[in-house]
């Protein structure tokens, strides 16, 4: 029984790593967003007043894309953190949940990379759709396990 419990604890810790990866990616996008804003402020393309209400001068496409992507990372991914924590703390973590969590992170990463580079809607939407199906699967699977 002790060995089974140790495996369950290990699986719970394994679920932490895709959450950490998601956090690190979100933090990197935030750093990119802030860096681009500071750069445009320093070059005089935007003013501090612009950032008070996001009105006035037109920001660069890079600022708009990174800002939109960062906002997007604050919409559905928090539901990922919630379900991952629920799975971990309930002791229900297993390799399927860990794999789903990594797939979720990978599809969110893919969505961001497309969004921040070529910004084509069809591949971006594909990553977005798959990530949300994976997230829904995690919630349903957890719900059925309790």
Task: Find, among 69, 82, 131, 144, the residue nearest to 103 by Cα.
Answer: 131
Domain 2-145, CATH 1.20.120.550 — does that match? yes
Tokens 């991914």, located at residue: 77
SS3 46: coil
Give the domain ranges of the chain. Answer: 2-145
Backbone φ and ψ for 55, nearest 5 degrees, come out as -135, 155
pLDDT per residue rounded down to tens, the chain (146 residues): 566 555 556 667 899 999 999 999 999 999 999 999 999 999 988 888 888 887 878 899 999 999 999 999 999 999 999 999 999 999 999 999 999 999 999 999 999 999 999 999 999 999 999 999 999 999 999 999 98
CA 20 to each of CA 24, 27, 35, 102, 145: distance values in angstroms, whole numbers, following the listed order: 6, 10, 22, 11, 24
For residues 58 and 46, what is the distance between their CA atoms, to the nearest angstrom?
8
Q: What pLDDT shows up at residue 47?
A: 85
């Amino acid at each position: 029984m002790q060995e089974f419990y140790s495996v369950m604890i290990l699986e719970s810790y394994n679920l932490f790593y895709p959450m950490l990866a998601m956090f690190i990616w979100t933090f990197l996008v935030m750093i990119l967003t802030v860096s681009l804003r500071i750069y445009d402020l320093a070059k005089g393309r935007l003013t501090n007043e612009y950032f008070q209400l996001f009105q006035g001068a037109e920001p660069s496409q890079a600022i708009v894309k990174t800002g939109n992507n960062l906002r997007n990372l604050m919409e559905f991914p928090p539901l990922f953190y919630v379900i991952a924590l629920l799975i971990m703390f309930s002791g229900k973590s297993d390799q399927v949940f860990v794999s789903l969590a990594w797939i979720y992170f990978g599809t969110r990463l893919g969505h961001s990379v497309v969004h921040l580079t070529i910004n084509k809607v069809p591949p971006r939407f594909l990553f977005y759709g798959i990530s949300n199906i994976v997230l829904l699967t995690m919630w349903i699977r957890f719900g059925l396990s309790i």
